[in-house]
Amino acid sequence: MISGRVTGLILAGGQGQRMGGADKGLQPLGGMPLVMHVLWRLAPQVQDVVINANRNLGAYEGLGRTVVPDLSGDFQGPLAGILAGLPYCDTPWLMTAPCDTPFFPADLVEQLVVAAEASGAEVAMPVTPTNDGRDQPHPVFLLLRAELYESLQAFLQGGGRKIDRWTDTLACERVRFSDSEAFFNANTPDELKQLRARAKSLKP
């Protein structure tokens, strides 16, 4: 099974600046914290799930998963979270997911792994179509080979912070998904309201 070859990593280590400094993963959605929705979505697609968090560690540990903070304490962004999580990956692949995007595709991991292994890629990420026909990448949903620790460490030590700048140095496979709304995330209080409205509309 593809899931047995992948470890999941939920990225919940941000400062939440656009959310007024709130811990985004712990914001309520349908009676549960956002991160719980992401965990439920990701867990069936992978062998195990690790959570990267830098605040409220007890709350995240309460989800029953290994919780790892960044190796540095200065909030260097999602790549720092990935670097912290990679040592806990004992599968060939690591799949990252942000804590504020609860409705990503249920076959995301499978689609990325199949495409990456077919092309021999080192990393893979989903892209969705924009209204003007361009491809919009979603690099925080990143599938990467577990042996990329040294490459990522060197990139961060060199001052790099953006995921796509790092993946541009690697063999990267971009995999198209048709539903751009599946990757809608909550960076701001208004976007969180939109997620809550969507969650209500999806209830049977």
CATH number, domain with residue 20: 3.90.550.10
Rounded mean pLDDT, 154-163: 94
- Residue 187 is classified by DSSP as S
| Cβ–Cβ under 8 Å, residues 102 and 29 | yes
Quickly state the pLDDT bin for 71 (edges 50, 70, 90).
confident
For the cut 70, the answer to whether the pLDDT of residue 171 exceeds it is yes
Q: Residue 101's closest CA among 158, 40, 58?
A: 40
- The reported pLDDT for the residue numbered 53 is 96
HSE, side-chain direction, 13 A CA sphere, residue 76: 21
For the cut 60, the answer to whether the pLDDT of residue 32 exceeds it is yes
Quickly state the pLDDT bin for 18 (edges 50, 70, 90).
confident
For the cut 90, the answer to whether the pLDDT of residue 16 exceeds it is no
Domain that holds residue 39: 2-202
Quickly state the pLDDT bin for 10 (edges 50, 70, 90).
very high
Which string of DSSP letters, residue by residue, matches 11-66?
A: EE----GGGTT--GGGSEETTEEHHHHHHHHHGGGSSEEEEEESS-HHHHHTTTSE
Between CA 172 and CA 98 the distance in angstroms is 19
- The reported pLDDT for the residue numbered 204 is 53
Quickly state the pLDDT bin for 75 (edges 50, 70, 90).
low
Domain tally, the chain:
1
